[in-house]
Amino acid sequence: MWSLIYKGVNFIKKNPTIIYSFFLIIVVSAIIFFNTYYSVIKFQKNNDTLLHSKAILAEDIFNLSIADEINNENKIQSLIEKIKDKDDEILEINILKPKENKDEFKIIASTDKSKINKSVANDIIFIAWQHPQEGIAYLMSDHSLGRFWEISKTIQSNGKKEGIVTFDMSLSDSDKLINQTIKRMYWVSIASLLIVLLLVVNHTRLFKYAVRVTKLEEVDKMKDDFISMASHELKMPLTIINGYAELLKDSLEKKSSEKNTSEFKERLKHLKNIKIASKRLRELVEDILDVSRIEQGKLKINLEKVNLSEILNEVMEQFQIDASKKKISLKLKNNLNNELWIKADEARVKQILVNLVGNAIKYTPQGSVTVKTEIDKDFIKIVVKDTGIGMSAQEMKNLFKKFYRIKNKKTEAINGTGLGLWISKELALKMKGDLTVESMSGVGSQFILTLPKFKE
């Protein structure tokens, strides 16, 4: 028994929406049931009151017409019979007169002829006799007749109490209607219960999807955390490799006696290759770290007053050697003044420009790369233009998507990850700027980085 309860509790703990489902089944069905039930009850009460008023009114009118004929028993008998015949709701009418001692009443006319001349003495009649102005009504119930109003009222002629009329008015018609409504209400409740059950079954299926989505999100987060952790861990050995390569290069260079031997040159070449590879790996790790920071919303951007001219000069200097190796002319056309202030994160602006200028040189086999600055209202535009391989409109469609690389004959020999532009665009947007592109296949490309001016 206890193990069953324990299993049940465990199941609910694992599937908390089951409580919601039960809640839905019980509450919705209960609301529909009670709403209908109370509406029916209220309707029945109103109907009873209405019939009650109707019965009293009918009796009042009836009273007036028989008051003067109270001593003509035959006439009264035929009158009450006629009235009963005309109205199905009237079950019985009796006319009573007090006996001499006034302890009892005698039925002088009745729609139930067997009651004529019988004596009657009950509380209702005495109360009616005591209160001649009011009609005394009681709600009665009988196996064969159902519910009915029994109304008794004193008959008065010229202010004198002459007798009593009792009047039974049936409620069976309205009761029949109410019973039908109650039956319908049960059916509606059952139908709504079934609908709610169907909804719950559907909901449970949806819930399974929700669980899957949550699990996927968890796995995705685990993956992000792993990437972030792995990238951090990779940085350390890479720095060590780089450091040792540097150390080896230094100690090798000190051996001046061996400098001209082919073995020395070979070793130096190997060391350079180690350095290049570790630098590339480091850049890749940095990119992956940036992606995971951006995706986890953990990337910190410090917006401050930054001298753009200084950054531009630094980036140009950094790429001069690469450009001259490819015989590409790399020029800066900073038509604006030397102190170009923007509101941005210095390191991140440099990172974007390194990526844009680096790409321009990387994807330009010959010709030139020019960096220009322009003012556009509250923004400064930095245009990196090249005469390289360019891109078609189709190729540019997904350019700013993560890991997207254009695959064609011209790009197949060029290494890359497809992360640089995605990161650059995200960074530009985070600094309240933007990064856009214009390009033509075989003609060249220009990337436009827009950043807000610094306002005092």
- Distance between CA atoms of residues 414 and 366, nearest Å: 15
Q: Which is nearer to ligand ADP, 62 or 422 (CB)?
A: 422
Query: Which three-class secondary structure state does DSSP give residue 393?
Result: helix
Q: Which helix (H) or strand (E) holds 108?
A: strand 105-110
CB of 193 to ligand ADP, least distance (A): 58
Print burial letters for 418-440: b (CB count within 10 Å at least 16), e (below 16).
ebbbbbbbbbbebbebebebebe
Candidates 316, 383, 311; CA nearest to 341 is 311
Biggest distance spanned by C-alpha atoms of the chain: 158
Candidates 412, 361, 384; CA nearest to 311 is 384
Among 96, 340, 360, 449, binds ligand ADP (CB under 6 A): 360
CB of 426 to ligand ADP, least distance (A): 11
Interface mask toward ligand ADP for 70-89; x: CB under 6 A: --------------------
CB of 450 to ligand ADP, least distance (A): 17
In the bound state, the residue with its beta carbon closest to ligand ADP is: 416
CB of 368 to ligand ADP, least distance (A): 12
Question: Which region, judged by CB under 6 A, interacts with ligand ADP, from 143-151, 228-236, 306-314, 410-418?
Answer: 410-418
135 binds ligand ADP (CB under 6 A): no
Query: Which three-class secondary structure state does DSSP give residue 403?
Result: coil
Question: Which region, judged by CB under 6 A, interacts with ligand ADP, from 7-15, 33-41, 83-91, 385-393?
Answer: 385-393
CB of 439 to ligand ADP, least distance (A): 7
Instruction: Give me 45's structure tokens.
Output: 């009460």
Interhelix angle 17-67/172-254, rounded to 10 degrees, is 160
Total number of residues binding ligand ADP (CB under 6 A)?
22
Q: Which is nearer to ligand ADP, 95 or 291 (CB)?
A: 291
Radius of gyration for the alpha carbons in the chain, expressed in angstroms and rounded: 50
Q: Which is nearer to ligand ADP, 405 or 430 (CB)?
A: 405
Candidates 122, 224, 227; CA nearest to 164 is 122
| Residue matched to tokens 């709504």 | 192
Among 174, 192, 370, 417, binds ligand ADP (CB under 6 A): 417
Q: Which is nearer to ligand ADP, 152 or 359 (CB)?
A: 359
- Distance between CA atoms of residues 239 and 254, nearest Å: 23
- Distance between CA atoms of residues 259 and 441, nearest Å: 47
Residues in the chain: 456
Among 352, 420, 426, 451, binds ligand ADP (CB under 6 A): 420
Question: Which region, judged by CB under 6 A, interacts with ligand ADP, from 25-33, 105-113, 149-157, 413-421?
Answer: 413-421
Instruction: Give me 59's structure tokens.
Output: 């009796």
405 binds ligand ADP (CB under 6 A): yes
Q: Which is nearer to ligand ADP, 197 or 285 (CB)?
A: 285
109 binds ligand ADP (CB under 6 A): no
- Distance between CA atoms of residues 391 and 278, nearest Å: 30
Q: Which is nearer to ligand ADP, 125 or 389 (CB)?
A: 389
Question: Which region, judged by CB under 6 A, interacts with ligand ADP, from 140-148, 190-198, 251-259, 354-362?
Answer: 354-362
- Distance between CA atoms of residues 265 and 262, nearest Å: 5
Among 181, 192, 318, 411, binds ligand ADP (CB under 6 A): 411
| Residue matched to tokens 């008998």 | 77
- Distance between CA atoms of residues 43 and 292, nearest Å: 66
Q: What is the contact surface with ligand ADP in residues (CB under 6 A)?
A: 355, 359-360, 363, 386, 388-391, 399, 404-406, 411, 416-422, 445
